[in-house]
């Protein structure tokens, strides 16, 4: 059971990010003091409760000639920082080529979290994913783009906590970057990032009953270990708690993704009738999809808005109706085509992929709730879960839009031929399938058996 002080602190900080009086450092301290002994022990194993290196005082700068890295840091510190970036934070801002703005805190927290996981940095990421999902869906592109790029940069950079700064002050900025394996970070468009900052930092209220429903999902997992397959249904049910404005915001967010408007204008492709795929040859997309669905007793056409009553579907925007139906039709096709196995690990990654492809809010909610579950139930998995999330997101942003694909045109092709036709590079994770704890549904771990005739089994 999560301490009520923690839930209240989280709810307040996430809804009122700038005006409730606590910095993220102070928030992390309160949460750390109220964690169970078991969670404290887990977080201590993984750098957990240690303070952020970003908050460390700036070491003394000596022997820094004009134009050197040390001189640049000194000049920036003398100007003062509008957004309270100081100490090591300030030095890293210059190294990564980041502007003096609120989102720089987010980026640097991500570069630090991948190197030295601890509660504060993880809370920054968790808070941002929660804001995107449940308060500001229209910020998903710039926020996820920024976090994913910063996370990836942190992977390759010299770990912050190992740096001896003193010998670096006299060197040029370029030389220091080369030595620390840091390159200027590619950030989202300035206008998009400014809008995202305003939306993320704006005070808001939770939709009625939404926060309680999120904590109930986490509590349900704690009480029913092994029944993690309920996560999918429970997260989907959160939509019933969305205010009208939040639902409208999720619809507006969808329109911001490449290919979304074109897919809607083309209309729904014909429904997929799984029995019609029975005779496709082994090795084709049609055969593999048939096997994936029938071997696991899945359903394809499970959402029928036309069959719903006005009360059920009347307040659901058309964009949400369209993408909800398509995500259920195509989720397993994306598994096959984009090379996501149906394993706990890849279910996290494909959620990042789906969100990066077209912004459907279910995926944003799933990732935010998963991040909360990891932080407060299994913190040792937090870094890997975040990595999987951003792997999927980055893969999606490098893949042409798939939402409008008419899969009926591709049943007779091999999966490699489909990938070539659609411009899809297969997903390959840095992690092993068996490493992720079973906290999401597991069905068919590999696709190998789909290469055998049905009658042979």
What are the tens digits of pLDDT across the range 176-212?
Answer: 999 999 999 999 999 999 999 999 999 999 999 999 9
Separation of alpha carbons 313 and 209, rounded Å: 20
Q: Of 201, 228, 260, which closes a domain? A: 201
Question: In terms of domains, do 192 and 293 share one?
Answer: no
Q: 135 phi and psi, to 5 degrees?
A: -130, -40
Question: In terms of domains, do 95 and 39 share one?
Answer: yes
Separation of alpha carbons 203 and 195, rounded Å: 14
Separation of alpha carbons 16 and 10, rounded Å: 10
Q: What is the pLDDT of residues 12-41, one digit of tens each?
A: 999 999 888 788 889 999 999 999 998 888
Question: In terms of domains, do 418 and 311 share one?
Answer: yes
18, two tokens? 């700038």
Question: In terms of domains, do 73 and 24 share one?
Answer: yes
pTM higher than the cut 0.85: yes
Q: What is the pLDDT of residues 149-163, one digit of tens each?
A: 999 999 999 999 899
Question: In terms of domains, do 301 and 436 share one?
Answer: yes
Question: In terms of domains, do 144 and 79 share one?
Answer: yes
Domain count, the chain: 2
Q: Of 149, 184, 201, which closes a domain? A: 201
| Spans of the chain, pLDDT less than 70 | 46-49, 83-84, 222-229, 301-314, 433-457
Counting residues of the chain whose pLDDT is more than 70, the rounded percentage is: 88
Question: In terms of domains, do 419 and 442 share one?
Answer: yes
Q: Of 201, 221, 252, which closes a domain? A: 201
Residue 174 lies in domain: 4-201
């Amino acid at each position: 059971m999560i301490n009520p002080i923690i839930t209240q602190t989280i709810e307040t900080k996430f809804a009122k990010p700038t005006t409730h009086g606590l910095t993220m450092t102070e928030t992390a301290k309160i949460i750390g003091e109220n964690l169970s002994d078991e969670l404290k022990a887990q977080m201590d194993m993984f750098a957990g409760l240690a303070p952020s290196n970003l908050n460390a005082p700036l070491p003394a700068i000596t022997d820094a000639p004009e134009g050197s890295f040390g001189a640049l840091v000194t000049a920036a510190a003398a100007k003062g920082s509008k957004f309270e970036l100081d100490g090591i934070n300030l030095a890293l801002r210059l190294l990564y080529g980041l502007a003096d703005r609120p989102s720089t805190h987010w980026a640097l927290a991500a570069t630090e979290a991948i190197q030295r996981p601890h509660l504060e940095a993880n809370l920054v990421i968790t808070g941002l994913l929660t804001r995107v999902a449940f308060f500001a869906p229209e910020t998903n592109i710039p926020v996820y783009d920024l976090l994913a790029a910063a996370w990836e940069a942190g992977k390759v950079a010299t770990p912050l906590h190992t740096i001896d700064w003193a010998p670096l002050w006299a060197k040029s900025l370029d030389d220091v970057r080369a030595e620390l394996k840091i390159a200027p970070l590619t950030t989202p468009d300035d206008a998009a990032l400014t809008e995202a900052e305003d939306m993320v930092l704006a005070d808001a209220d939770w939709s009625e009953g939404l926060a309680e429903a999120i904590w109930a999902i986490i509590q349900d997992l704690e009480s029913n270990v092994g029944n993690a397959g309920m996560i999918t249904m429970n997260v989907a049910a959160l939509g019933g708690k969305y205010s009208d404005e939040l639902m409208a915001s999720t619809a507006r967010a969808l329109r911001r993704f490449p290919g979304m408007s074109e897919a809607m204008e083309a209309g729904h492709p014909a429904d997929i009738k799984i029995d019609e795929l029975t005779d496709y040859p082994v090795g084709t997309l049609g055969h593999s999809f048939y096997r994936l669905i029938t071997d696991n007793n899945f359903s394809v056409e499970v959402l029928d808005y036309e069959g719903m009553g006005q009360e059920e579907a009347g307040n659901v925007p058309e964009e949400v109706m369209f993408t909800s139906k398509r995500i259920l039709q195509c989720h397993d096709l994306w598994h096959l085509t984009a090379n996501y196995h149906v394993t706990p690990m890849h279910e996290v990654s494909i959620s990042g992929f789906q969100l990066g492809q077209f912004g459907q809010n279910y995926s944003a909610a799933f990732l935010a709730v998963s991040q909360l579950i990891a932080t407060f139930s299994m913190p040792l998995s937090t870094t890997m879960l975040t990595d999987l999330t951003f792997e999927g997101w980055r893969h999606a942003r490098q893949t042409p839009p798939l939402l409008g694909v008419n899969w009926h045109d591709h049943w007779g092709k091999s999966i490699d031929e489909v990938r070539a036709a659609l411009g899809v590079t297969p997903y390959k994770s840095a992690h092993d399938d068996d490493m992720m704890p079973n906290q999401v549904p597991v069905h068919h771990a590999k696709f190998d058996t789909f290469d055998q005739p049905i009658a042979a089994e």
